[in-house]
Structure 1
Amino acid sequence: MTTSTYGDHPTVLGPDSDLAQVFAFFESEGYVNPAAAWPALTRTWNWAAPLTTAVPRADRPAPTARPVPGGFTLSGQWRRPSYDGTDPWLALPLGPASRGGPDLFVVAAKVLPDGEGAPGSVFRLEDVYVPAGFVTYSTGEPLRAGDAAFLWTAVTALALGAARCMTDVLTARAKGAGDTAVPSAAAELAAVLYDERLSLAAVLHDAPSARQGLPASVEVRLAAQVGRAGTAVHHVVAAAYEHALASGAGTGRHPLVNLIEVCSPILQQVRYATELLLPHDTTSPRKAEHGDDRRISG
């Protein structure tokens, strides 16, 4: 099992680690300290490296990113590299002067202005919103296109762990206020997360590392399970938030709201994990989501 470190951040598992170990590690990290787990992952592993990457225009001021709630607004000019028009996502770096903070921003290719998508063309963006979960560090060790299963597993595990932490916070606050209904609801949400953890762990049982290569059937099953787990996490978070609002009237800002805010990059990323880095068979996750189980039996 290999790991990687970045600066002062803790050692994290990587694409050379067995996926079951990756899942267990990141689920625990997401549960214990989700606010620190996401920066540690993105500073260590540049997950956007396999994506088509544009180049900042050299004869203009460097692109800029301004922090806003939930993400950043991105402005600047870039030159598009050789590109066949099929990649749905594009990575936009800020440039060398920005090193030290997040400096690689992923946007949907459809945000490019009309007529400015040809290879070598220059395009300009002004205050384009990029969610924090679509931002990483170019100084991290680049992931490879074949490392997709590692990213899916790590991000989904972080999301499940963070959501599990949220159910604990919801329960603790309700019990402190003498509320007996919310803890029961939180227990039901925790049970949903438990089932998702078991299902994903079953898919990953005896699975090799991403870099050893997964059998096609396992990769398809994993992509499908990641999609389902992400949906379950968002359901749990939304339900927990509703219970927090209902139980916290007149008592100030509920701690769950703060936790949801710091976890927003994880929640944003997990929704699109299998789209940002595709499986080898790019049709498989969509087939699985629509109930075509012929490719994922067993």
Structure 2
Amino acid sequence: MSGLPRPITTSRYGDHPKLLGPDNGLAGVFAFFESQGHSDPAGAWQALTSTWNWAAPLVTAVPRAGFPGPVARPAPGGFRLSGLWRPPSDHGTGPWLALPLAPVRSGGPDLFVVASKVVPAAVEDGGTRSVFRLEDVYVPAGFVTHSAGVPLRAGDAAFLWTAVAALALGAARRMTDVLAAPATDGPARAQRQGPVSSTAVAAELAAVLHDERLSLAASLHGAPSARQGLPASDEERLAAHVGRAGSAVHHVVAAAYEQTSASGGSTGRHLLVNLIEDCSPILQQARYATELLLPHDKTSSQEG
């Protein structure tokens, strides 16, 4: 890590080091977050969303005043969101809408992103302004962030893509480490593993991740920071590369889980299942990161 650029933020979360941001070169961002995703996926995701409000460039609704504020109840892999919001005047300019809680809760996630298509038509509220209501709408944890974080800009999309792809690759690398760990229940487990051992499968999956990691790192070599700006063609290529990395990670995770389920071994299975649950927000975000924040030129055209 000694060759990485100096972190620019002053925020800390738990024992995590200061986070890199959109003013750092993308190669350094990638190396930093891949390492963090490998060492502590859940903590790294919490640190990212607590430090940087990635939903800031999205169109945001306003909680309906004068009534009990919107609420979010924890649910497996995410939250159930209910409440009344006033649609922004420019609602409909994009496929995603950010919905804040009110009043803002200190410390907890309080900004939820949903697909615009799930938002019902607004109705007149007392003949003045229109409102819409959501009732127990499921929002995956990867679509939740903190409004208290430093707002990212539309032009910072490349930073978010790079950080999320790196976290996903690092988290998946940790999963292959767990899969490759020696059996804890002796010969009986070896007999259940079948023709292909978990260690062999882990090695194959680790090789896939290694190739994807090297490929993405090579594409970012010498790239400027998101704030310095990438040419439109380079940003488009990065978005495509991040999408491929996300697909590779999902393949690795599915294959690792399938192998663990087939080979038995309750201790190893529980370790991997717990790890997948910890990583679920990263995996959810990795699948949609380039859709949530579009390349800068596309975002600008939509906002205009």
2 CA distance for matches of 1:155 and 1:203?
Answer: 16
Q: Please tell me the residue identity of whatever aligns with 2:205.
A: L
2 CA distance for matches of 1:126 and 1:282?
Answer: 32
1:32 aligned to which of 39, 44, 49? 39
CA deviation after TM superposition for structure 1 residue 210, in Å: 0.1
2 CA distance for matches of 1:85 and 1:265?
Answer: 26
> Does the C-alpha gap of structure 1 residues 121 and 218 become closer, same or farther in structure 2, counting only changes over 3 Å?
same
Partner of 1:64: 71
SS class of match (1:207): coil
| TM-superposition CA deviations, 1:207-230 (whole Å, max 9, x none) | 000000001121111000000000
Asked if the contact 1:170/1:244 (under 8 Å) is kept, the reply is yes
Asked if the contact 2:13/2:47 (under 8 Å) is kept, the reply is no
> Does the C-alpha gap of structure 1 residues 251 and 44 become closer, same or farther in structure 2, counting only changes over 3 Å?
closer
CA deviation after TM superposition for structure 1 residue 232, in Å: 0.5
Residues 1:4 and 2:9 aligned together: yes
TM-score (norm 2): 0.88
Percent of pairs with identical residues: 72
1 CA distance for matches of 2:232 and 2:52?
Answer: 24
CA deviation after TM superposition for structure 1 residue 260, in Å: 0.1
1:54 aligned to which of 53, 61, 78? 61
Partner of 1:139: 148
Partner of 1:232: 248
Residues 1:103 and 2:103 aligned together: no
2 CA distance for matches of 1:276 and 1:141?
Answer: 17
Q: Please tell me the residue identity of whatever aligns with 2:21.
A: G
Asked if the contact 2:122/2:132 (under 8 Å) is kept, the reply is no
The alignment covers a number of residue pairs equal to: 282
Residues 1:14 and 2:21 aligned together: yes
CA deviation after TM superposition for structure 1 residue 83, in Å: 1.0
Please list every run of 5 or more consecutive structure 1 residues that lacks an aligned counterpart in the other structure.
284-298
2:134 aligned to which of 125, 133, 138? 125
Superposed CA RMSD? 2.1
Partner of 1:292: none
CA deviation after TM superposition for structure 1 residue 202, in Å: 1.4
1 CA distance for matches of 2:244 and 2:28?
Answer: 20
Worse-matched range after superposition: 225-234 or 243-252? 243-252
CA deviation after TM superposition for structure 1 residue 5, in Å: 3.4
CA deviation after TM superposition for structure 1 residue 114, in Å: 3.2
Worse-matched range after superposition: 3-12 or 100-109? 3-12
> Does the C-alpha gap of structure 1 residues 243 and 87 become closer, same or farther in structure 2, counting only changes over 3 Å?
same
Partner of 2:3: none
Q: Please tell me the residue identity of whatever aligns with 1:201.
A: A
SS class of match (2:109): coil
Partner of 1:161: 170
1 CA distance for matches of 2:122 and 2:214?
Answer: 48
| TM-superposition CA deviations, 1:244-288 (whole Å, max 9, x none) | 1111256685310000000000000000000000003549xxxxx
TM-score (norm 1): 0.89
> Does the C-alpha gap of structure 1 residues 266 and 54 become closer, same or farther in structure 2, counting only changes over 3 Å?
same
Partner of 1:114: 121
Partner of 2:92: 85
Asked if the contact 1:71/1:129 (under 8 Å) is kept, the reply is yes
SS class of match (1:75): strand
Partner of 2:205: 189
Asked if the contact 1:6/1:140 (under 8 Å) is kept, the reply is no
